[in-house]
A = this chain, B = another copy of it.
């Protein structure tokens, strides 16, 4: 316990324990310890952009089995502002979530949302996607300061993401900058004593740049390593090879986080390759669009075929939505624009993802992950072709 500026901080050391050998083709089973509790890995983090996982309360999240959530540095910086959240007791107190929180760096949103942006070696100048007019400056120290004010359990370093396709030279420059920023992030002061920081690997679709990027970060030495800049348009096989290649450089003792991905099969493949942490807006966003995940594939709830369908979304699912409501009712809520439908769909989709992770962990602990993976594709009438699942 340390006391600074009259405030009391409990410095609980971040810890990652690997529970299996993490052998090739078997995936890794582990536990991350944070000041706000433990996270069983491989884990999926529901996305709470503005300090709320869209449509859900903290109790909903607990009920469906969320152990950790992700929140967005960029968005909270703009609204309501990190200083305000700090004054309100941090993000945990503000949103009423007492479990672990990982915050992203803001780099991806500056890249994907900002209209005007100017990336220089000292940081990035951008205009808010909200008003378009006001300019903001984000540099590595600022990104840490924001996340620290939020009280994040796992802080990520500011990175530069490049579009797909990009010239080699541009991707190389972004890797160099991301490394430079990672160093500054590592050195920057933060109030709560030693906080967990993850470095972010960039490098576009260039194998040697990905290698250069992870090696640079390993030299700085982070608590964990995030793989950024994926799922921006590149081919799936290219991506999977780059992920595998990058992971091969990371020591087994370090947690690996694949940012912003993906579909259930993307997750299964990445687990196979040794990823421990995931986040993605797909389950929540698709829920709001009426696209629901099931054990036999996805369904689009607004389709007329569900008008009188008295079955639950997924007969194998144990979520509140499936235990209580029919497809017909969910379709009705969707077509009448009832807000309740958004929540019930979100509960289902997130439960599906979190339950998938539970099944994955169970399979890993019983050393039958490969069978589990084959069974998964079989049920969805997908087949494995090389490393890739094909419908």
Measured CB to CB, the residues of A under 8 A from B are 50-52, 54-58, 79-80, 84, 87-89, 94-96, 307-308, 310, 320, 324-326, 328-329, 332-333, 335-336, 338-344
Contact = CB atoms under 8 A, between A and B. Distances in A.
A307 to B, nearest CB: 7
B79 A332 contact: yes
A87 B332 CA distance: 14
A268 to B, nearest CB: 30
Contacts of A89: 310
B87 A308 contact: yes
Given A50-B332, A51-B332, A56-B340, 4 more contacts: A55-B339, A79-B336, A94-B326, A94-B328
B339 A54 contact: yes
Contacts of A55: 339-340, 343
Contacts of A308: 84, 87-88
Nearest to A130: B336
B340 A52 contact: yes
Nearest to A347: B57
A232 to B, nearest CB: 25
A344 B57 contact: yes
Contacts of A328: 80, 84, 88, 94
Nearest to A54: B339
Nearest to A338: B52
Nearest to A309: B88
User: Which 6 pairs show the lowest CB-CB distances between chains A and B?
Assistant: A55-B339, A50-B336, A52-B340, A80-B332, A52-B338, A96-B324
Contacts of A94: 326, 328-329, 332
B333 A52 contact: yes
Contacts of A326: 88, 94
A325 B324 CA distance: 28
Contacts of A95: 329
A255 B347 CA distance: 40
Nearest to A339: B55
Nearest to A57: B340
Contacts of A51: 329, 332
A320 B96 CA distance: 11
A372 to B, nearest CB: 33
Contacts of A50: 332-333, 336, 338
